[in-house]
Structure 1
Amino acid sequence: MDDLPYQPVKYDPKEFLRKEMENEEFRRECEALEPKYALIRELLEARKNSGMTQEAVASKIGTTKSAISRLEGGSQHSPSIATLRKYAEAVGCELVIRLEPKKKPADA
């Protein structure tokens, strides 16, 4: 086995995603997950801008680092408005929630 040459497998995640997005079912599933990932991006960006660690946010809110990690990781648990409000306050932000009209499909 020592004489087998090293042959790394090329993997381009952007190219993979581009190809997969051509699949209608895959694209629908990705689009369905967008709100969840938008929330995660917002949480991470707010904490980054605050300069705080997960431990610091947890201490300020009165919870554990692992709870903040689960919140920022998008676990199966859906956070309450109260939790999101506490998180926002801890990182120096204001929680804003809004509903936007759905966009009409381009072919409609």
Structure 2
Amino acid sequence: MKDPEFKKAYDGLSAEFEIVEAIIKKRAKKKLTQKALAKEIGVTQSALARFESGRSNPTFSFIQKVTAGLGLRLTVK
């Protein structure tokens, strides 16, 4: 990445990608479909799919719902 501004923006997304990746891995490990998890936490499957694909800007409460539904604890430092 030659453009320092682009690199800074890209690096800033690192935490978001890590959270989503951890959630997808945990959902797969629990053998839950998007539809099953979405139903369990009270959101639509399409909302969960957008979140997992990075096509949405989720609220903190949405991320908390997803992590709680997977038995994960979200800690912000």
TM-score bracket, normalised by the shorter chain, equals 0.7 to 0.9
Report the RMSD for the aligned CA atoms in angstroms.
Answer: 1.8
Greater relative contact order, per chain length (Cα 8 Å cut-off, separation 6+): 2
Q: Percent identity?
A: 23
Matching residue of 2:54: 74
**TM-score if structure 2 supplies the norm length?**
0.78
After TM superposition, which residue ranges in structure 1, 4 or more long, deviate above 6 angstroms?
A: none
Counterpart for residue 75 of structure 2: 97
1:88 maps to a residue whose letter is T
Give structure 2 stretches of 5+ with no counterpart.
Answer: none
Q: Which has the larger radius of gyration?
A: 1
CA contact (8 A) 1:54 1:68 kept: yes
| Residue range with higher mean Cα deviation, 21-30 or 68-77 | 21-30
Taking the aligned partners of 2:11 and 2:4, their CA distance within structure 1 comes to 11
1:40 corresponds to which residue? 20
TM-score by structure 1 length? 0.59
The Cα offsets for residues 61-96 of structure 1, whole Å up to 9 and x where unpaired, read as 122110110121223422223x223212322x2222
1:84 aligned onto 2:57: no
Are the equivalent residues in 2 in contact too, given 1:84–1:95 (CA < 8 A)?
no
The number of residue pairs the alignment matches comes to 77
